[in-house]
Structure 1
């Protein structure tokens, strides 16, 4: 279909300081056949007034109220109200690159169904210096996108930027859309994209500008804290990857591996816990003794979860090349 209608789904929660800039970036898109479905999530600032003002000036902008609370329900409402055959998301505090919609539409129309289109992202801040962690994440994520290799690192971090993807509506509905009960909801959707057998096709252009500031939801909401990530990883690992006929090994004895071990124990999953850190070998945590990695056989009957944040203790995997490896950090 030539020039398909794109529905932009955008939850809005107290975004007034940045909303005009966001909406201007949408209105000024080079691709013209779009509709913005903005759902006001009980904002207590002037967000609703700004949305109504833009709605009155552009018939492509439609404003609704969230009848419950939270981003997931806001996204459900936006999807229900959408009319487009292509669906994308936007964050109310970010900025679209001028060609964002055009580039994503071109990718999807070239590859038809079964694909998720994405592009490069760039963090920016007008209030402070960018955190090195965000810059490293940007570099890592963009490198994956340039090579259409996003899903190769699925268990490490969220590999599809939440406000920079586009799907055929039929594909989104097929994988359950926003029927999520797990946070972070964007990471949950990314897992469902992968296990729904969608393929990634990426643009080599910077399509989305991601704003960082102190009150950003991912910084202040517990649903997006580092503690939430192990839960969603273990949920999908157990659901789709765990093989009861193979030995499961967790490699690492730091904070992240402890969180993973605790979740496996809670889910009654049997595993061996190993490390190459001599200070941790022999210790017992959560009733499990941490073993020396050099005394464990790792072969093609092994599933190996690597959860080591420190560069000093990254494992030599020459002995584990035949096993299934899942990098959790």
Structure 2
């Protein structure tokens, strides 16, 4: 496999402040055999005019328009019009490092089918990056450095949506952009995980992630926490849980209650535990909350943990270690 064509898929909408910088960062790539399939998702600003100027001067840019609406349909159209052996995605308001494509192509050529190329990311903003994004960046990059991303997939999205590359056949096997499920990047990460793709470790920053007040992940209802929780539970029940397991929910906060409510609606039996003395012994949704020590008596347990505090998570991990239960096999952190 020599010098394969890379298809870079870019949906864009009202990003005229940033699109030129994004597309220039692609033109500056050290790897030159790429095509950009950029789909205008009903922009009302000058984004389309900017994109078209690049297409006039550089034939590697193909600009299309989305007759429907939404990032999933735009991505689907971009992919359906691509020709590359390798598939990658880019956000129209971000920037690539100059060696991003070269680094990912070389990684995939070396490892072959069944692998996913990723890279470290760096947030940047004129007003400074908030603590939440800073923690996410550090957490994500730590996983990426060792390729252990999927071990913590139920915590957060472990594959940065604009910084991955995969062979077309693996992308097709993962059902491409066909599902209409948001957040689409998190859903795709789960489908990569479901198909058993392995992340190639990377210690280099390949993508610069722009943060600003009206970016889609901040403003769209599709990126609200309830959507993330729905995806986590959907894939947990599909990939991890078996009817012969003793399902346990640990935590009676907002997320714990949301999960418990859904399980009750689905008629899936479960134990509900916590360490909050004010809640232990209460009947919520017809399920009695018990002290977490009850886990010592539950056989073949599989636990969803909704406790977010990192210190509390460490205590919980120690408790499971004493029970000889393993993370990402017997218990899963959902936050």
The TM tier, using the shorter chain, reads over 0.9
For the Cα contact (< 8 Å) 1:86–1:166, is it kept in 2? yes
Q: Look up the match of 2:54.
A: 54
CA distance in structure 2 between the aligned counterparts of 1:141 and 1:296, rounded to whole angstroms = 31
Q: Secondary structure at the match of 1:160?
A: coil
Q: Look up the match of 2:35.
A: 35
Q: Look up the match of 2:16.
A: 16
Q: Deviations over 1:197-238 (max 9, x none)?
A: 111103210000001100010000111111111100111111
CA distance in structure 2 between the aligned counterparts of 1:48 and 1:269, rounded to whole angstroms = 49
Give how far 1:281 is off.
Answer: 1.3
Q: Look up the match of 2:97.
A: 97
Q: Deviations over 1:49-90 (max 9, x none)?
A: 000011111010010001111111111111111111000000
CA distance in structure 2 between the aligned counterparts of 1:307 and 1:242, rounded to whole angstroms = 16
Q: Look up the match of 2:44.
A: 44
Report how many residues are paired: 328
Q: Look up the match of 2:324.
A: 321
Q: Name structure 2 gaps, 5 residues minimum.
A: none
Q: Look up the match of 2:149.
A: 150
Relative to structure 1, is the Cα distance of residues 312 and 139 closer, same or farther in structure 2, using a 3 angstrom cutoff?
closer
CA distance in structure 2 between the aligned counterparts of 1:185 and 1:233, rounded to whole angstroms = 13
Residue 116 of structure 1 pairs with residue 116 of structure 2: yes
Give how far 1:298 is off.
Answer: 5.2
Q: Look up the match of 2:194.
A: 195
> What does 1:59-208 align with in structure 2 at a 5 Å threshold?
59-126=59-126, 128-208=127-207
CA distance in structure 2 between the aligned counterparts of 1:290 and 1:300, rounded to whole angstroms = 18
For the Cα contact (< 8 Å) 2:246–2:299, is it kept in 1? no
For the Cα contact (< 8 Å) 1:299–1:319, is it kept in 2? no
For the Cα contact (< 8 Å) 2:246–2:298, is it kept in 1? no
For the Cα contact (< 8 Å) 1:251–1:274, is it kept in 2? yes
TM-score by structure 1 length? 0.97
CA distance in structure 1 between the aligned counterparts of 2:118 and 2:311, rounded to whole angstroms = 33
CA distance in structure 2 between the aligned counterparts of 1:193 and 1:119, rounded to whole angstroms = 16
CA distance in structure 2 between the aligned counterparts of 1:33 and 1:173, rounded to whole angstroms = 21
Give how far 1:181 is off.
Answer: 2.0
CA distance in structure 1 between the aligned counterparts of 2:103 and 2:181, rounded to whole angstroms = 30
CA distance in structure 1 between the aligned counterparts of 2:297 and 2:3, rounded to whole angstroms = 53
TM-score by structure 2 length? 0.95
Q: Deviations over 1:297-318 (max 9, x none)?
A: 3565111111101345432323
CA distance in structure 2 between the aligned counterparts of 1:21 and 1:320, rounded to whole angstroms = 53
Q: Look up the match of 2:245.
A: 246
CA distance in structure 2 between the aligned counterparts of 1:178 and 1:95, rounded to whole angstroms = 23
Q: Secondary structure at the match of 1:321?
A: coil
Q: Secondary structure at the match of 2:59?
A: coil
> What does 1:217-296 align with in structure 2 at a 5 Å threshold?
217-296=216-295
